[in-house]
Amino acid sequence: MMPGSIRGRLALLVLASIILVWAIALGWSYREATREVGEWDDARLVQLAQFIVLLDQNDLSVLSRTRIDARTEYGRGPGHTNGNDGDKSPREALFQVRDAQGRVLASSAQLESLDAFEVPADATASARRVTLGGQPWHTYVLHDGVSGRTVRVLESTNQRSDLTTGVALRIAKPIALALPVLALLVWISIGHSLAPLEALSKAIRTRDASKLEPIRIGPTPVEVRPLVDAINQLLSRLGLSINRERAFTADAAHELKTPLAAIKVQAQVALAAQDAAQQQLAMQRVVQGVDRSAHLAEQLLLLARLDEHRKVPAQPVALAALVKDAIATNEPDARRKGMTVALVGDTNYMVMAEPVLMDIVLDNLIDNAIKYCDEGGRVEVSIRRDADAVVLTVGDNGPGVDTEDITRLTDRFFRVTGNGANGSGLGLSIVARIAEYFGARLDFDTGIGGQGLAVHVSFPGADANRNLNEPR
């Protein structure tokens, strides 16, 4: 048996269980056989005693010189033996007869040197066990009230044990001979039952690494089906992961191609420039292109990490503090365009999220609003409770988005046409992904005073979603 073999362990357990049951059954049969044989032999001792008590002195003298077979059924005539118990060898019985004064009238030769018995006071004493000469014997005492004789017949207990042991061995022998055959059948049966596992192993072993379709091995037992389902689920997750990596590679190659080409062109312009001013302008555009490429790569990597479904434990997060930090971070960009970015009110609600990811959400929403808003515009951030949700809103008074484009705002690399903003088209995709991550809902509406665009992020309500300004 191979170490750790399921087939070997099952075969061993099945065979051990069968042997244990057989041993219990054999032990019970041996006990019952011993009891029945004992009752049968006791009855034959009674018959023998009843036969001897009727004999005269001459017959007793002859009988004392005769080897008495304990198997003889004297009730059916002298010399008739019973072979129903399967005992083919003679089993000797001994006897002794005494008169009323206790004198021995006749005795088997083996008992002449032994103090065979004392006549019991109870003349009706039945069969019982005694020890003579250090050996156990079954004996029966019969007292004849007419003649005053007392007859005792004896049979060796060892003879009876040999008989019952022989019966047990005859029962056990075919069982022992059948064990190797049974072991072979059990081994084959278990191997047949484990065939689906071998088929599954072969299907995995021979499968091409690029094939991630579900495994099909035909009908599978109930016990094997969870394993097949788990492997197929793993293959499905691997397929999604590989597809995401391929999409990321394709997107990165496609989106980085344009800014890198622009950087190359501006570098060539700088090299060919005849005056310092033209060269300075070209180099500034090279730096802008590098910044745009770096930002694009950063956004792509962030989106790829979010797509990996890594679990981050959510915790209560105070939105107002994060909003203030995000406004401060984007203040320089807003100042360059003469814009105002403000937190409307100071309602500090808590949501179940993760601070770093919420920073990314706020930074992208505020950055987008600044980029796509006209110079001198305004961006407002508000936090409010709406039924069972806490709603974070970032709105502006810019040109807004056409109705047909709103449904595409969260598509990767989608950019609103007709706007000179220099974005990657990934900001709202990242926001949508993080919102989904925490079970939040993303909605779009018109912005400040019915102009521009407002983005609403609704976080599901919970006991932790409370206003920190409210008393407990």
Tokens of 148: 């005053």
- 123 with 143: CB under 8 angstroms? yes
Q: Give a yes or no: residue 466 inside a domain.
A: no
Say whether both 14 and 149 belong to one domain.
yes
> What is the number of residues in the chain?
472
Kindly indicate the confidence band of residue 133, based on its pLDDT and cuts at 50, 70 and 90. low
Reported as a single tens digit per residue, the pLDDT across 338-386 is 999 999 876 778 888 888 888 888 988 998 889 888 899 999 999 998 8
Q: Give a yes or no: residue 162 inside a domain.
A: yes
Reported as a single tens digit per residue, the pLDDT across 51-66 is 888 888 888 888 877 7
Among candidate residues 130, 152, 158, 163, the one with its CA nearest the CA of residue 40: 163
Average pLDDT over residues 401-426: 68
Distance CA 469, CA 472 (A): 9
Distance CA 394, CA 163 (A): 101
Q: Domain span at residue 237?
A: 225-305
Kindly indicate the confidence band of residue 225, based on its pLDDT and cuts at 50, 70 and 90. confident
Reported as a single tens digit per residue, the pLDDT across 78-94 is 444 444 444 555 567 88
Q: Give a yes or no: residue 23 inside a domain.
A: yes
Q: Is the pLDDT of residue 395 over 60?
A: yes
Which CB contacts under 8 angstroms, 24+ apart, belong to 198-205? 200/224, 200/227, 200/228, 200/231, 204/231
Average pLDDT over residues 90-106: 81
Mean pLDDT, all residues of the chain: 78
Say whether both 291 and 364 belong to one domain.
no
Highest mean pLDDT among 60-69, 142-151, 256-265, 295-304: 142-151
Say whether both 164 and 41 belong to one domain.
yes
Q: Tell me how many degrees the CA angle 53-56-58 measures, rounded to the nearest 5.
A: 130
Say whether both 41 and 167 belong to one domain.
yes
Query: What distance lies between CA 72 and its chain's CA centroid?
Result: 66
Kindly indicate the confidence band of residue 198, based on its pLDDT and cuts at 50, 70 and 90. confident
Tokens of 283: 């180099």
Say whether both 284 and 396 belong to one domain.
no
Helix (H), strand (E) at residue 441: strand 441-446
Distance CA 71, CA 10 (A): 48
Say whether both 260 and 331 belong to one domain.
no
Q: What is the CATH number of the domain that holds 402?
A: 3.30.565.10
- 64 with 122: CB under 8 angstroms? no
Kindly indicate the confidence band of residue 73, based on its pLDDT and cuts at 50, 70 and 90. low
Q: What is the CATH number of the domain that holds 51?
A: 3.30.450
Kindly indicate the confidence band of residue 423, based on its pLDDT and cuts at 50, 70 and 90. low
- 385 with 350: CB under 8 angstroms? no
Distance CA 272, CA 265 (A): 11
Helix (H), strand (E) at residue 127: none
Q: Give a yes or no: residue 138 inside a domain.
A: yes
Average pLDDT over residues 127-132: 69
Among candidate residues 165, 465, 212, the one with its CA nearest the CA of residue 314: 465
Q: How many domains does the chain contain in total? A: 3
Q: Give a yes or no: residue 20 inside a domain.
A: yes
Say whether both 244 and 367 belong to one domain.
no
Candidate from 32-41, 123-132, 326-335, 400-409 with smallest mean pLDDT: 123-132
Say whether both 42 and 161 belong to one domain.
yes
Say whether both 253 and 333 belong to one domain.
no
Reduced to 3 states (helix: H, G, I; strand: E, B; else coil), residue 431 is helix
β-partners of residue 382 are: 344, 393
- 321 with 348: CB under 8 angstroms? yes
Distance CA 379, CA 285 (A): 28
Say whether both 12 and 159 belong to one domain.
yes
Q: Give a yes or no: residue 30 inside a domain.
A: yes
Tokens of 321: 């503090």
Report which of residues 311 and 175 the model is more confident about.
175
Q: Give a yes or no: residue 348 inside a domain.
A: yes
Distance CA 444, CA 369 (A): 13
Asked which of 288, 305, 322 is the last residue of a domain, the reply is 305
Distance CA 123, CA 137 (A): 19
Distance CA 237, CA 68 (A): 89
Q: Give a yes or no: residue 192 inside a domain.
A: no
Tokens 């071998």 belong to 198
Q: What is the CATH number of the domain that holds 280?
A: 1.10.287
Give strand ranges (E) for 226-371. 315-318, 340-344, 350-353
Q: Tell me how many degrees the CA angle 222-227-228 measures, rounded to the nearest 5.
A: 90
Say whether both 345 and 427 belong to one domain.
yes
Say whether both 283 and 382 belong to one domain.
no
Distance CA 362, CA 326 (A): 6
Average pLDDT over residues 444-450: 88
Give the per-residue pLDDT at 457.
Answer: 93
Q: Within 13 Å, how many C-alpha atoms sit on residue 304's CB side?
A: 18
Asked which of 130, 152, 171 is the last residue of a domain, the reply is 171
